[in-house]
Amino acid sequence: MEIHSIPPFLEYYHKVRERTLRIIKVVPADQLDWSYKPGKFTIGDQIRHIATIERYMFAETIAGRPSAYQGCGKDLADGYDNILFFFNQLHEQSLDIFRALSDNDLQRKCTTPGQVEMRIWKWMRAMVEHEIHHRGELYIYLNLLGVKTPPMYGLTAEEVAQNSIPITGAETDPGK
């Protein structure tokens, strides 16, 4: 999917961010330092990482500057309220950069930290995929802790199955 215009992209990205915030809002404050394995991102690290990579890598390179990402440690924000404030503050800074782009800017190339030149619209698409990837990890982390997580689109898989009709053999045979 090529991105042709900034306003529809920002509308879409807002919805992606709303789904990310829904999962962050169920994170128990006393579990921010939990990780499934020593040396891996904690829950707090995951949240800070989404914020810092968006702002300091994606937004900076989109603005024509080099990546300024320096990690996602507790020194940036510690404690649930501080992490949430930091997360939202960096997102607003990123949005300011994205809102300043023209539709023509989407065809301009930026340089990734790996020194690859890429059209801005493709880099913005990668940013969304990155957030979704880490949101999925948050779901797994919280499920491992037994935390009830919100369904992504309103229904759980079990509720979708319950509201669906059974499949007969004809529906699964592409030759019929």
pLDDT in tens, 35-54: 999 999 999 999 999 999 99
Task: Decide if 128 is inside a domain.
Answer: yes
Two structure tokens written together for 100: 């300043």
pTM higher than 0.95: no
Task: Decide if 126 is inside a domain.
Answer: yes
Q: Between 75 and 169, whose confidence is greater? A: 75
Task: Decide if 1 is inside a domain.
Answer: no
Q: Per-residue pLDDT for 103 more than 60?
A: yes
Q: Between 10 and 169, whose confidence is greater? A: 10
Mean per-residue pLDDT for 103-110?
Answer: 97
Domain that holds residue 32: 6-172
Residue 121: its pLDDT value, please? 97
- Looking at residue 59, its amino acid is A
Residue 170: its pLDDT value, please? 59
Q: Could you give the C-alpha distances from 109 to 64, 105, 115, 117, 176, in angstroms and in order?
A: 9, 8, 12, 6, 47
Task: Decide if 73 is inside a domain.
Answer: yes
Q: Per-residue pLDDT for 166 more than 90?
A: no
Number of domains in the chain: 1
